[in-house]
């Protein structure tokens, strides 16, 4: 490890020279150019293996960079799914060829990734998915629909899970594929959400041919591949948010309450103390996860604790903001941050798995409580009444 203080000083100087006053929404071309500069400077993929384009450094350098980056709004959100989920999945279970082909372009911002798991009839119970992939010579032919796919409109590539064997039980006949989003037969339709923007999309597959060498993991073993991605997702959502400024934070709302002469109001103090305690619990839990990752201990299902704490904290921040700012919360403030954060808050408790599902996972896999009964675990998928199969069965 290099001297952390020296590393952090150099990172701060680089950020000051290259990232100060960048617009939060810089546009796609500017975001890609920024990622390339970040990579050239040695700050993209800090802990990723050097042979695939990473910097091959340790979690200590990563943390030093993240500390230096606090207070900067880096325009790299569109790469979040690639960096937080798809890339780590390929590094864990991709082939050597996948790593050589896909990792460096991701780290340089040349290719944007999305993750295509959820379907209209398969969200929390994503193993009920119905998108099909059928073998045809040296390729697989994909048909079906995904929904809520973040950044699909901007994406060049995506990880897809599709059903490859309907005779196996629902968790076992699934395979993970790398999809080229520009291939014929892939159609992306944006969905407008309540922030007024289109963060997520529907994706349709009509006879999309996917070469067999784009399978990630093994045929029919896509469920464990998907679990790998989801574990990375929850850690990445939790720890990623730990590094970003929260507009409806304790500090911001306490200042707003003081400015409005509300600090003596016991109800307001109660809200603020509750928010402070949640922030401390979240920050300390994440500090602990980071230390453990640094020591080589993988968080596993405890990533769900970080995700749940963050969802609850975000919703508590939104409630407190509404109480303290009153009608002002519905008007966009100067840079729109409070109002945008409020309308984004409920999505935090859904995306990456809902809070109820996080509680199930924590009960089951962190606390060792009895599992939820699952009567359909051993039944061939074709016999299950899920999604459109349920409608067909009811006819």
Ligand X SMILES: Cc1cc2nc3c(=O)[nH]c(=O)nc-3n(C[C@H](O)[C@H](O)[C@H](O)COP(=O)(O)OP(=O)(O)OC[C@H]3O[C@@H](n4cnc5c(N)ncnc54)[C@H](O)[C@@H]3O)c2cc1C
Residues near ligand X, by CB under 6 A: 114-118, 123-124, 148-150, 200, 347, 350-351, 353-354, 356-357, 360
Which is closer to ligand X, CB of 69 or CB of 86?
A: 86
Residue 390 CB, nearest approach to ligand X (Å):
13
Residue 202 annotated among the catalytic residues of the structure: no
Of 233, 279, 323, 372, which one is the catalytic site residue? 233
Which is closer to ligand X, CB of 11 or CB of 160?
A: 160
Distance in angstroms between the alpha carbons of the first and the last residue of the chain: 65
The span from the CA of 301 to the CA of 18, in Å, is 37
Q: Give one DSSP letter per residue of 225-267, joined into a string.
A: HHHHHHHHHHHHHHHHHHTSPPTT-HHHHHHHHHHTT-TT-HH
Residue 86 CB, nearest approach to ligand X (Å):
10
Q: Are 46 and 293 within 8 A, CB to CB?
A: no
- CA 307, distance to chain mean position in Å, is 10
Q: Are 248 and 318 within 8 A, CB to CB?
A: yes
**Both tokens of residue 200?**
């997520």
Residues 118-130 as b or e (16 or more Cβ within 10 Å = b): bbebbbeebbbbb
Residue 80 CB, nearest approach to ligand X (Å):
10
CB atoms near residue 69 (< 10 Å)? 21
The span from the CA of 3 to the CA of 11, in Å, is 12
Which is closer to ligand X, CB of 86 or CB of 91?
A: 86
Q: What is the CA radius of gyration of the chain?
A: 22
Residue 360 CB, nearest approach to ligand X (Å):
6
Question: Which residue's Cβ has the minimum distance to ligand X?
Answer: 123
Residue 96 CB, nearest approach to ligand X (Å):
27
The span from the CA of 103 to the CA of 84, in Å, is 12
Q: Give one DSSP letter per residue of 56-103, joined into a string.
A: ---HHHHHHHHHHHTT---S-GGGHHIIIIIHHHHHHHS-HHHHHHHH
Residue partners of 209: CB distance under 8 A and separation at least 6: 136, 139, 140, 141, 142, 183, 185
Which is closer to ligand X, CB of 129 or CB of 338?
A: 129
Which is closer to ligand X, CB of 54 or CB of 387?
A: 387
Which is closer to ligand X, CB of 116 or CB of 318?
A: 116
Residue 386 CB, nearest approach to ligand X (Å):
12
Residue 358 CB, nearest approach to ligand X (Å):
9
Residue partners of 192: CB distance under 8 A and separation at least 6: 198
The span from the CA of 348 to the CA of 332, in Å, is 20
The span from the CA of 365 to the CA of 231, in Å, is 12
Residue 344 CB, nearest approach to ligand X (Å):
8
The span from the CA of 233 to the CA of 236, in Å, is 5
Question: What pairs with residue 205 in β-bridges?
Answer: 144, 186
Active site residues: 233
């Amino acid at each position: 490890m290099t001297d952390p203080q020296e590393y952090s000083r150099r990172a701060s100087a680089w950020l000051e020279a290259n990232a100060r006053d960048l617009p939060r929404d810089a546009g796609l071309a500017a975001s890609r150019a920024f990622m390339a500069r970040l990579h050239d400077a040695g700050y993209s993929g800090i802990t990723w293996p050097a042979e695939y384009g990473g910097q091959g450094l340790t979690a200590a350098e990563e943390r030093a960079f993240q500390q230096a980056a606090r207070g900067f709004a880096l325009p790299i959100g569109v790469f979040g799914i690639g960096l937080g989920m798809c890339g780590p999945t390929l590094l864990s279970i991709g082939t050597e060829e996948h790593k050589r082909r896909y990792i460096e372009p991701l780290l340089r911002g040349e290719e944007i990734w999305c993750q295509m798991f959820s379907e209209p009839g398969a969200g929390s119970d994503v193993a009920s998915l119905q998108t099909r992939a059928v073998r045809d010579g040296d390729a697989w032919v994909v048909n079906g629909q995904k929904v809520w796919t973040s950044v699909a409109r901007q994406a060049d590539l995506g990880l897809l899970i599709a059903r490859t064997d309907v005779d196996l039980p629902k968790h076992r006949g699934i395979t993970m594929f790398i999809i080229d989003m520009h291939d014929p037969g892939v159609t992306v339709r944006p969905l407008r959400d309540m922030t007024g923007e289109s963060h997520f999309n529907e994706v349709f597959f009509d006879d999309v041919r996917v070469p067999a060498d784009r399978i990630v993991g093994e045929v029919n073993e896509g469920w464990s591949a998907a679990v790998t991605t989801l574990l990375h997702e929850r850690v990445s959502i939790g720890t990623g948010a730990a590094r970003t400024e929260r507009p409806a934070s304790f500090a911001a709302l306490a200042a707003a309450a003081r400015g409005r002469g509300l600090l003596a109001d016991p109800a307001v103090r109660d809200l603020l103390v509750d928010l402070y305690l949640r922030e401390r619990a979240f920050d300390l839990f994440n500090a602990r996860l980071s230390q453990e990752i640094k020591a080589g201990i993988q968080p596993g299902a405890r990533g769900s604790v970080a995700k749940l704490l963050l969802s609850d904290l975000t919703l508590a921040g939104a409630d407190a903001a509404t109480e303290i700012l009153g009608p002002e919360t519905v008007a966009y403030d100067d840079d729109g941050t409070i109002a945008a954060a409020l309308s984004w808050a409920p999505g935090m408790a859904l995306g990456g798995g809902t809070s109820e599902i996080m509680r199930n996972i924590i009960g089951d896999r962190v606390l060792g409580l009895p599992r939820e009964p699952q009567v359909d675990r051993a039944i061939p998928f074709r016999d299950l009444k899920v999604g459109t199969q349920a409608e067909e069965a009811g006819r």
